[in-house]
Amino acid sequence: MGDKQGFLTKEGGSWKSWKKRYFVIKAGSLFYSKNQATGHLGIIELSTAGPVQPSEYKKKRFCFSIETPKRTYYLCANSDADKNSWVAALCDERDRVQEKGKYAPAPVAAGTAGGQVVQPAKPKAPATIGLEDFELLRVIGKGSFGKVFQVRKKDNGKIYAMKVLNKKNVIERSEVEHTRTEKDILQKLVHPFLVNLYFSFQSPDKLYFVMDFVNGGELFSHLQKDKKFPEPRVKYYAAEIALGLEYLHNSGVVYRDLKPENILLTEDGHICMTDFGISKQGLLAEDDRTATFCGTPEYLAPEILQGHAYGKAVDWWSYGTLVFEMLTGLPPYYSTDVQQMYTKILTAPLIVPDFISPEARSLIAGLLERDPARRLSDGKVIKAHPFWRGIDWQRMVEKDIPPPYVPPVKSKEDVGMVSEDFKNQKVEMTYVPSNLSANEQANFAGFTYISNEGPLKP
């Protein structure tokens, strides 16, 4: 993962108490929260920060400070090496975001570290990113949206996946808002089980997303091959997905498209949730609702089919459907006739096969409760269910528990799990005259994003 993250101890505000918090450097800011699952408690903007340096503040060990116009923040790491790593990463991100020329750093007095003067960062020429910075290696995916390429960044040799969208198609399919939402979500959020966005940029006719190359295959393809998974394997995948879903909800995001096709396995067998194109931001309060009819038929919650306003509980219905499918091979109300399937989702009794354990049956029944007010839809309550007996949630989110299955790939660059139909396609970026008006191009203003991943060209 390109964004540095981990636990630090932070001095509080007026009470000056010290509390352990989880910190993430991302998108020009330092975010902090109680742990990996909760939403952000606060943000330290690096765009206006001055010196970031070691400190002997109050004789605290492994302490460093971040000076901002608002206040000086004091943080403590776990070791001297950890402290130095954080200081270096924060300085790099501060310099990067200030180099973009987007902000002018506030005047902050110079500080000292180890007897040397540490000057505030100075703005430099804007950094840029474009297609010329990448080598196209092979096609790894294709759909109505466009193509996905495996690419190599020329200056550091790192491998990524690049999703390419045709602007005209995005506009004609009324996908402008969804495309911007996906970019915003990927840019702001970071979690062990969510895909990372490193760069986004545009040309006159196309939009480009540069993300993690995740090469262990879709959960869908593994489920098709194996027909169904044994319960311990389901429990592992479901636990990682639950942590990712809980984090999204605590960040005010409703996923709305949880299904096996949108879940990838990493090369070592962990979950990676992808495709936030129809997600909804801004639902922070418990009673916040939205009403758009969207999603994949097999996984739609009853309240969406009924045209009711809905909240985060729709994701837990989809989650229950997914857990059922991993255990049995099919969603609980599946039918080849979509209208008949909708009727079954709304009215048919839930039939759980006898080979499923009582604990799993209980969890599924709670998740597939048609009344959203009675549905299991609180991450903390769900994680306390007897189905998870023996799960160490902290070790799970830290990826400290070995996955039950490791995909047959040899390295992080291996494309063995990619369909031959894609890999055999010609690797080229076709130019399509956009003929878009200035007003249409304005839909994509501010689309460029550069993370703190790797060196940038001036």
Identify whether 402 is part of a domain: no
243 & 209 share domain: no
pLDDT-derived band at 14, boundaries 50, 70, 90: low
Residue 405 domain flag? no
- The residue among 118, 151, 168 that closes a domain is 118
Q: Nearest-CA neighbor of 68 among 96, 46, 93, 91?
A: 46
Q: How far apart are CA 60 and CA 15, in angstroms?
A: 17
Short-list 455, 451, 4, CA closest to 197: 451
- How far is the C-alpha of 147 from the C-alpha of 206, rounded, in Å? 11
Q: Same domain for 247 and 365?
A: yes
Report which of 229, 225, 266 is spatially closest to residue 244, judged by C-alpha positions. Answer: 266
**Residue-number span of the structural domain to which 105 is assigned:** 5-118
| Averaged pLDDT for residues 282-302 | 93
CB 193 within 8 A of CB 273: yes
Please name every residue paired with 116 in a beta bridge, in sequence order, or none if there are none: 113
Torsion of CA 312, 313, 318, 323, to 10 degrees: 120
CATH code assigned at 304: 1.10.510.10
Mean pLDDT of the chain: 87
Residue 7, beta-bridge partner list: 22
pLDDT, residue 456, reads 37
Between CA 193 and CA 26, with CA 414 as vertex, the angle to 5 degrees is 35
Its pTM stands at 0.76
What pLDDT digit, counting tens, does each position of 309-332 carry? 999 999 999 999 999 999 999 999
In the chain, what's the furthest Cα-to-Cα distance?
75
Whether residue 371 sits in one domain with residue 418: no
Evaluate whether residue 238 is within a structural domain.
yes
Q: Residue 96 gets which letter from DSSP?
A: H
| pLDDT at residue 122 tops 60 | no
Q: Which of 95, 133, 257, 275 is catalytic?
A: 257
Does some domain include residue 54?
A: yes
For residues 95 and 84, give the distance between their C-alpha atoms in angstroms, rounded to a whole number.
Answer: 16
Q: Are 104 and 196 found together in one domain?
A: no
Q: Could you tell me if 319 and 373 lie in one domain?
A: yes
- The yes-or-no verdict on residue 6 having pLDDT over 60 is yes
3-state SS class at 352 = coil
CA 308 to chain CA mean position, Å: 28
In a domain, 17, yes or no: yes
Active-site residue flag, 315: no
Neighbours of 325 (CB within 10 A): 23
Element (H, E) at 199: strand 197-202
pLDDT band at 281 (very low <50, low <70, confident <90, very high): very high
Q: Cα 444 vs. chain centroid, distance in angstroms?
A: 21
Asked if residues 99 and 127 have their Cβ atoms less than 8 Å apart, the reply is yes
CA distance 79 to 82: 5
Q: In what order do the strands lie in the sheet with 72-76?
A: 42-45, 29-33, 18-26, 5-11, 72-76, 63-67, 52-55
